[in-house]
Amino acid sequence: MRVNGRAYRTIWRTPDGAIAFIDQRFLPHRFLIEEVRTVEALADAIREMHIRGAIALGAAAAYGMELAAASASDADLPTALARAAELLKQTRPTAVNIAWAVDSILKAVAGAQSAEELRHRLRTAVDALVEGEVERCRRIGEHGAALLETLAQRKATAPLQILTHCNAGWLGCVDYGTALAPVYVAADRGIPLHVWVSETRPRNQGAALTAWELQQHGVPYTVVVDSACGHLLQQGMVDVALVGADRITRRGDTANKIGTYPKALLCRAHGVPFYVAAPSSSFDPTLTNGTDIPLEERSPEEVHTASGLHGDRFVTVRITPDGARAWNPSFDVTPAELITGFLTEYGLFPATAEGVEDLLATAHVYP
Ligand code: MRU
């Protein structure tokens, strides 16, 4: 993706072996790149959401395994990788992409006959995983644009009204995005569209990140507070909802950023299609029911406060009264029954056990 005309990914390896990424905490106001050289520093960056979004987290975890190997002696390699795998898996619990990436790398290096072979296999596997995710997102964009084009034809010349939540754009991936990938392709093809961006309290990934991405790409959008979405749907101002996913079970139950489930309910109530865009790496074949998905709870401080730019300084201000209690569940689960379909790198699949089974039989991303 382009930032001020220059091509970027969210995360990459530098020529001298560090891992660099866009520090998303300061967007949209500052575009800062952070570099880390240890798996511990990368794990901290994941936990504190310098880098975030399920697909970007998977790539970060893969790069984390590479950093762990780089700082280990040949004799310590297996122990260092096992320790790094545990550390990375514990950073954020909901996005299955982290465990998927770590397990894929471990599988790729298993049985290596020498440290040299292991290091070689590891780097090859990291590159294949990252490039694979980029390509899967690119393909989601192509399939999704065809879907948006069909929906847009029903609107004649009026813009197609798309509702999204959180940030499932290229910042949440390595490139292209999941839910936003089709929006970019459709916009590039000249399909008239407009995106309703729900702010996504408390971290404001919609208001800060999605709005910034759409603006960079020249896509018309409007930010609304999360609680405006019922009104939007009731007024007939949304034609389709498109969101990402952090983990999808075998029956199609889908964990995504808190606030996704009420949007799915609203869409059902108002007869609006609700699509989840995700590559096959976001499907968890080990779980069937959404109730078994581990859901992250973050610090109540995120609810008590809001952060942003004041003049030229970043400030955090307190919202709640001193002594107030707050709870900060960060993800919710949308039952499969509320999802119109899964938009994947292989096209559209029904949000049913059979649909997920078909996808998993087609895809070969699981170790
Ligand atoms: O807490 P975050 O910002 O990592 O949550 C991100 C989401 O919920 C996204 O919708 C999801 O990861 C989509 S993948 C681009």
Nearest CA to ligand 1 atom 6: 53
93 with 11, same domain?
A: yes
114 with 254, same domain?
A: no
* Ligand 1 atom closest to Cα of residue 330: 1
86 with 223, same domain?
A: no
Answer whether residue 353 is part of any domain: yes
Residue 59 beta carbon below 6 angstroms from any ligand 1 atom: no
Instruction: Indicate the pairing of strand 33-36 with strand 254-257.
Output: unpaired
126 with 204, same domain?
A: no
289 with 206, same domain?
A: yes
Q: For this structure, is 246 an active site residue?
A: yes
Whichever domain contains 210, its CATH number is 3.40.50.10470
From residue 323, alpha-carbon distances to 292, 300, 320, 330 in Å are 33, 12, 8, 22
Q: CA end-to-end span of the chain, whole Å?
A: 29
Ligand 1 geometric centre to CA of 110 (Å): 30
Is the link from the previous residue into 321 a cis peptide, with omega within 30 of 0?
no
Q: How many CB atoms lie within 10 A of CB 66?
A: 22
Mutate-to-test residue for ligand 1 from 137, 166, 248, highest number of ligand atoms within 8 A of CB: 166
226 with 305, same domain?
A: yes
Pick from 183, 187, 188: which is nearest to 197 by CA? 183
Answer whether residue 142 is part of any domain: no
Q: Which of 175, 226, 239, 246 is catalytic?
A: 246
| Bridge partners of residue 303, in order along the sequence | none
Strand ranges (DSSP E) for the chain? 2-3, 6-7, 11-13, 19-22, 33-36, 160-165, 193-198, 221-224, 240-243, 247-248, 254-257, 274-277, 305-310, 313-318, 331-334, 341-344, 347-349
168 with 111, same domain?
A: no
Residue 255 confidence (pLDDT)? 98
Q: Collect all residues with Cβ–Cβ distance below 8 Å to 229 and sequence separation of at least 6.
A: 163, 196, 198, 262, 263, 266
Residue 139 confidence (pLDDT)? 98
Q: What is the C-alpha to C-alpha distance for residues 54 and 258, in angstroms, rounded to an integer?
A: 14
Sign of the CA dihedral 187, 227, 243, 9? Answer: positive
Q: Collect all residues with Cβ–Cβ distance below 8 Å to 295 and sequence separation of at least 6.
A: 93, 94, 255, 329, 330, 331, 332, 333
Residue 5 confidence (pLDDT)? 86
Q: What is the C-alpha to C-alpha distance for residues 245 and 268, in angstroms, rounded to an integer?
A: 18
Residue 333 beta carbon below 6 angstroms from any ligand 1 atom: no
213 with 332, same domain?
A: yes
**pTM of structure:** 0.97
231 with 82, same domain?
A: no
Q: Can you give the residue range of the structural domain that contains 324?
A: 155-362
Whichever domain contains 58, its CATH number is 1.20.120.420
Task: Please list the pLDDT of the chain residue by residue as tens digits (367 residues).
Answer: 889 889 999 999 999 999 999 999 999 999 999 999 999 999 999 999 999 999 999 999 999 999 999 999 999 999 999 999 999 999 999 999 999 999 999 999 999 999 999 999 999 999 999 999 999 999 999 999 999 999 999 998 899 999 999 999 999 999 999 999 999 999 999 999 999 999 999 999 999 999 999 999 999 999 999 999 999 999 999 999 999 999 999 999 999 999 999 999 999 999 999 999 999 999 999 999 999 999 999 999 999 999 999 999 999 999 999 999 999 999 999 999 999 999 999 999 999 999 999 999 998 776 6
Residue 244 beta carbon below 6 angstroms from any ligand 1 atom: yes
Residue 13 confidence (pLDDT)? 98
Residue 205 beta carbon below 6 angstroms from any ligand 1 atom: yes
Buried/exposed 278-303: b ≥16 CB within 10 Å, e otherwise: bbbbbbbbebeebeebebbebeeebb
Domain count, the chain: 2
Residue 264 beta carbon below 6 angstroms from any ligand 1 atom: no
214 with 84, same domain?
A: no
